[in-house]
Amino acid sequence: MQPFYTEQQTLLANTMREFANEKLAPLAHEVDETEKFPTDQFRDLADLGVTGMTLPEEFGGSNGGYKDFMVVVEEIASACGSTSTVLITHVSLGAQTIYHGGSSAQRARWLPSLASGKKIAAFALTEPSTGSDALALETSLTRDGDDYILNGSKLFCTNGAVADIFSVFANQNKKAGHRGVTAIAVETGTPGFTINPQHGKMGMKGCATAELVFDNCRVPVANRLGKEGEGYRLALQILDSSRIMIAAQCLGLAKGALNAAISYSKSRITFGKPIATRQAIQFSLADMATELDAARLLTYRAASLYDEGLPHGKESAMAKLYASEAAGRIASKALQIHGGVGYFKPSPVERIYRDQRVTEIYEGTSEIQRLIISRTLLNDLIE
Ligand SMILES: Cc1cc2nc3c(=O)[nH]c(=O)nc-3n(C[C@H](O)[C@H](O)[C@H](O)COP(=O)(O)OP(=O)(O)OC[C@H]3O[C@@H](n4cnc5c(N)ncnc54)[C@H](O)[C@@H]3O)c2cc1C
């Protein structure tokens, strides 16, 4: 990617790679085994300034673009999938929702502590009865004087068990379709708000997933993000851009798997020669590298469009769809190249194989990405 990245982005990638190899990779197995939230790793990322990377300097951020953040996410994901999920959720879902949905007072109130990593953000859209169909939200929001009353529950909330500030999407009027959904920031400790950690995930085990329960939870009107009825549009806007970072995460997972496969193929001897000398293995590595670069180009295009303020919904869906499925194929091939060893812990490819799977599900499944892309194609045809 040298011709595409600026000198500064290449430097950033080198710094992050060094950090990821030194500080994240050695702990990745432990995070996976213990389901422990990577607290120290998050703190290190905050010290490096990446927890507020895409926020403006006035809120403590470093004013970075999505191309910059893409470089960071790829390097982190290549060492520890869970830590990359934690960071993406904090930055491109949680903090970005407050930045784009929030008033200047709300930005000043919440963003500096998120940028510095003193506080952790989460994004709560999915519910027990609905994930892909965000219009079917059951969590209700009812106005009561200067407060709203929230009732309902959210599922699978990444960072949920440790987060301080949640962007919650709730329905004020189900009959009003997308105009019925409103976004509101809810802080941990608000009476009527309970957090129940969820265990038993297949991969990405360190990302503190939780169920959120709102039982007559009273939240000040001052916490509403945007106007009443603008929540659905805000959620889609944030998902359109955050998907670019899921694609970047897939680049990292795929790179981690490919590097492990290259290195193992050079050292594993069968029939008197390293398996890397066999054409079957060489062609497999060639296919993996080609798919990885194709995914990176799609991701880079989506991030460039975002940074230039241009429409990017279809392109971010394409990047997420292709990168996640390519990462699945690459992880599977890397595991195959490792033979039996790849099937056992603590092989990094065994962990990557499991971590990758959810990238085809969260922030919109592959089917939903195909829907987004095909709708755009069909609209283009009609116009
Ligand atoms: C580890 C993890 C972390 C997550 N983190 C978060 C988070 O932080 N915040 C949050 O809000 N959510 C989060 N999610 C939820 C995630 O975004 C949803 O699981 C996802 O959007 C799919 O929704 P669902 O599980 O309800 O599946 P459903 O919507 O019930 O879909 C089930 C299946 O049907 C398919 N399908 C649905 N509709 C259609 C259609 N119209 N056409 C074709 N196929 C269709 C889907 O693709 C899927 O294969 C997380 C999920 C996981 C597993």
Q: Choose the final residue of a domain: 168, 195, 229.
A: 229
222 found inside a domain: yes
Choice from 361, 370, 372 to test ligand 1 binding pocket (greatest atom count within 8 A of CB)? 361
pLDDT at 381: 62
Q: Is 211 helix (H, G, I), strand (E, B) or coil?
A: strand
Segment 268-304, tens digit of pLDDT: 999 999 999 999 999 999 999 999 999 999 999 999 9
| Residues in contact with ligand 1 (CB, 6 Å cut-off) | 89, 123-126, 130-132, 156-158, 201, 204, 209, 358, 361-365, 367-368, 371
Distance CA 233, CA 119 (A): 26
Question: Are 126 and 189 members of one domain?
Answer: yes
Question: Are 258 and 347 members of one domain?
Answer: yes
Distance CA 294, CA 326 (A): 9
pLDDT at 124: 98
pLDDT at 278: 98
Q: Choose the final residue of a domain: 120, 152, 169.
A: 120
Question: Are 212 and 236 members of one domain?
Answer: no
Choice from 88, 242, 362 to test ligand 1 binding pocket (greatest atom count within 8 A of CB)? 362
291 found inside a domain: yes
Question: Are 115 and 191 members of one domain?
Answer: no
Q: Is 170 helix (H, G, I), strand (E, B) or coil?
A: strand
pLDDT at 379: 85
Question: Are 115 and 164 members of one domain?
Answer: no
Choice from 93, 156, 195, 374 to test ligand 1 binding pocket (greatest atom count within 8 A of CB)? 156
Question: Are 331 and 346 members of one domain?
Answer: yes
One pLDDT digit (tens) per residue for the chain, 383 residues: 556 899 999 999 999 999 999 999 999 999 999 999 999 999 999 999 999 999 999 999 999 999 999 999 999 999 999 999 999 999 999 999 999 999 999 999 999 999 999 999 999 999 999 999 988 999 999 999 999 999 999 999 999 999 999 999 999 998 999 999 999 999 999 999 999 999 999 999 999 999 999 999 999 999 999 999 999 999 999 999 999 999 999 999 999 999 999 999 999 999 999 999 999 999 999 999 999 999 999 999 999 999 999 999 999 999 999 999 999 999 999 999 999 999 999 999 999 999 999 999 999 999 999 999 999 999 876 54
Cα of 335 vs centre of ligand 1, distance in Å, is: 26
What is the C-alpha radius of gyration for the chain, rounded to an integer number of angstroms? 21
Cα of 124 vs centre of ligand 1, distance in Å, is: 13
pLDDT at 4: 82
Q: Which of 291, 273, 145 is nearest to 218 (CA)?
A: 145
Q: Which domain holds residue 27?
A: 7-120
375 found inside a domain: yes
358 found inside a domain: yes
Locate 127 and state its tokens: 């519910």
How far are the Cα atoms of 177, 185, 230, 270, 323 from residue 225, in angstroms, in the given order? 18, 7, 8, 60, 31
Beta strands per DSSP E along 244-294: 269-270, 273-274
Catalytic one of 138, 360, 363, 367 = 363
Is 363 considered catalytic here? yes
Question: Are 191 and 269 members of one domain?
Answer: no
Q: Is 181 helix (H, G, I), strand (E, B) or coil?
A: strand
pLDDT at 265: 98
CATH of residue 88's domain is 1.10.540.10
Cα of 125 vs centre of ligand 1, distance in Å, is: 10
Q: Choose the final residue of a domain: 229, 257, 278.
A: 229
Distance CA 165, CA 54 (A): 18
Question: Are 239 and 353 members of one domain?
Answer: yes
| DSSP letters spanning 31-61 | HHHHT---HHHHHHHHHTT-TTTTS-GGGT-
1 found inside a domain: no
Question: Are 179 and 256 members of one domain?
Answer: no
144 found inside a domain: yes
Question: Are 39 and 143 members of one domain?
Answer: no
Ligand 1 nearest-atom number relative to CA 125: 11
Ligand 1 nearest-atom number relative to CA 122: 8
2 found inside a domain: no
Locate 210 and state its tokens: 């939780």
Question: Are 240 and 330 members of one domain?
Answer: yes
Distance CA 144, CA 280 (A): 67
Domain count, the chain: 3
